[in-house]
Structures are given as structure tokens and as C-alpha cells.
Chain A
Amino acid sequence: EAGVAQSPRYKIIEKRQSVAFWCNPISGHATLYWYQQILGQGPKLLIQFQNNGVVDDSQLPKDRFSAERLKGVDSTLKIQPAKLEDSAVYLCASSLDPAGQYGYTFGSGTRLTVV
């Protein structure tokens, strides 16, 4: 089966600019996650969707970050305006069921550099 697709692979922007990332999960996977991974740290969950509804966005900095999954399939994560500390790899993951009985699959991520 095809994996979790993410684009772009790399992005460099100046601080205060906006940026958007795209994720297409594995077909049929109802649960989708966005993680932020700062260099040297483990991934940190930003937001979790179940179909097109938000299950958990408690760690999402809502003053600058937003995410949507309008049709319950692909998703976008946006940052506006970006700060230097947003430099990180943004990972998308999906699972067939929320409890992850069948595992979670991660994409290759988008590496964001804010200068």
C-alpha cells in the first residue's frame, strides 16, 4: 500500500512569513496526526483528527498554527506568522483506528527552516 505522503519535503522561509504543509494519509485511515520534531527531540503531537473532526489540539499554538481536514482525507497545517523557533520537521501520521491496533504510519516529514 502507498505510504503517508507529505509535501513539500523542505521549506525555507523568513520569520513572519506564512507556510503550509500538506499530508495525504493512507487510504481508509480515519485518524490523522500532525507532529512537530525539533532537532534532537522526539516528535511532539500538535493535533489529532478523527475523520474531519478535531479530537485533540491541546498542544497546537493556536495563535499562529491552524490545521484542517475538510473532507476527512488529506490535511493541511499552516503557520502564520512563522517564528524562528518553528524551525523543525513536521510529521504527519495516520492510523486505521484511533486505538492503533494496527499501528501508526508516519510520512517522511517536511523540514522547515525559519530564518
Chain B
Amino acid sequence: DAKTTQPPSMDCAEGRAANLPCNHSTISGNEYVYWYRQIHSQGPQYIIHGLKNNETNEMASLIITEDRKSSTLILPHATLRDTAVYYCIVSGGGGSNYKLTFGKGTLLTVNP
């Protein structure tokens, strides 16, 4: 079962920052938060992941609250090509049995 809650859809104006929220209130101490996105007809694309600290890469920033019960993915300057379904995922398992369990994600639509 998915352990994250995301809004089903969001809109963003081109050039503006897109802030995608995610709740993961049951996250365990050793579980990572991952963000992937999926553009129609393609496989999920890795964006960013983190454990406790905020993370930034060339695509996005990940802000994780101090209690780790929620996070926000920030696309600093959204473009039309960022229109996709964004999945927030908490890796679950232990030992060799870690896996990504996808929920329904957030459909982000970037408008001109």
C-alpha cells in the first residue's frame, strides 16, 4: 500500500516555481523519500531523493520537514516540458527487500 498522500492535480504558470507537496506521516527512520515523474508513454524518471536533509540538484529541490512527515518538491522555473505526473514515494522494506510503492501521484500541468 502507498504510504504517501499527494494532491491529484496542480497547475503552475510557465516560468514560476512549482511546489508539489507530499505527506508521509508513517515514514520510518531509515526510509528515503523519492520523487519521480512520468511523462506520457515513458518510464518513470528519477528527480531527487533524500533521507533527512534538504537536497538540491540540477532538476529540483527537496525540502523535508524536521519531523520527516512531509516534504515538498520544488521545480524552480517550471517549463511546459515539466508537465507530467509526479510521484512521491517512500521506500519500504528492510534487508534486501526495499522497494518503491507508487501511489496515484500529482498531475502537474504547466500553463503558458
Binding site for B on A (CB under 8 A): 4, 31, 33, 35, 41-45, 48, 50, 55-56, 91, 93, 98-101, 103-109, 111
B99 pairs with A103, CB closer than 8 A: no
User: Which A residues are CB-close (under 8 A) to B42?
Assistant: 108-109
29 A-B pairs with CB atoms under 8 Å apart are A4-B43, A31-B96, A31-B98, A33-B99, A33-B100, A42-B87, A42-B102, A43-B44, A44-B102, A45-B99, A45-B100, A45-B101, A48-B97, A91-B43, A93-B100, A98-B93, A98-B96, A99-B32, A99-B98, A100-B91, A101-B32, A103-B34, A103-B46, A103-B49, A104-B46, A105-B46, A106-B44, A108-B43, A109-B43
Q: How far is the CA of A105 from the CA of B49 in the complex (A)?
A: 13
Complex A-B, nearest 5 residue pairs according to Cβ-Cβ distance, in ascending order: A42-B102, A106-B43, A98-B96, A50-B96, A106-B44
Q: Is the contact region of chain A dominated by helix, strand, or loop, or is it mixed?
A: strand
User: In this assembly, does B104 line the interface, its C-beta being within 8 Å of a C-beta of chain A?
Assistant: yes
A48 pairs with B99, CB closer than 8 A: yes
Q: How far is the CA of A64 from the CA of B82 in the complex (A)?
A: 38
Known: A45-B100, A45-B101, A105-B46; 16 extra A-B contacts, CB below 8 A, are A31-B98, A42-B2, A42-B103, A42-B105, A48-B99, A55-B97, A98-B93, A98-B95, A98-B98, A100-B32, A100-B34, A103-B46, A104-B46, A106-B43, A107-B43, A108-B42
Q: Mark B71-110, 1 if CB is under 8 A from A, else 0.
A: 0000000000000000100010101111111111100000
Size bracket of the B interface: 20 to 34
Binding site for A on B (CB under 8 A): 2, 30, 32, 34, 36, 41-46, 49, 87, 91, 93, 95-105
A100 pairs with B46, CB closer than 8 A: no
Q: How far is the CA of A48 from the CA of B93 in the complex (A)?
A: 12
Q: Smallest CB–CB gap between B34 and chain A, Å? A: 7
Task: Tell me whether A106 and B98 are in contact in the complex, defined as CB-CB below 8 angstroms, given that A42-B87, A42-B105, A101-B32 are known contacts.
Answer: no
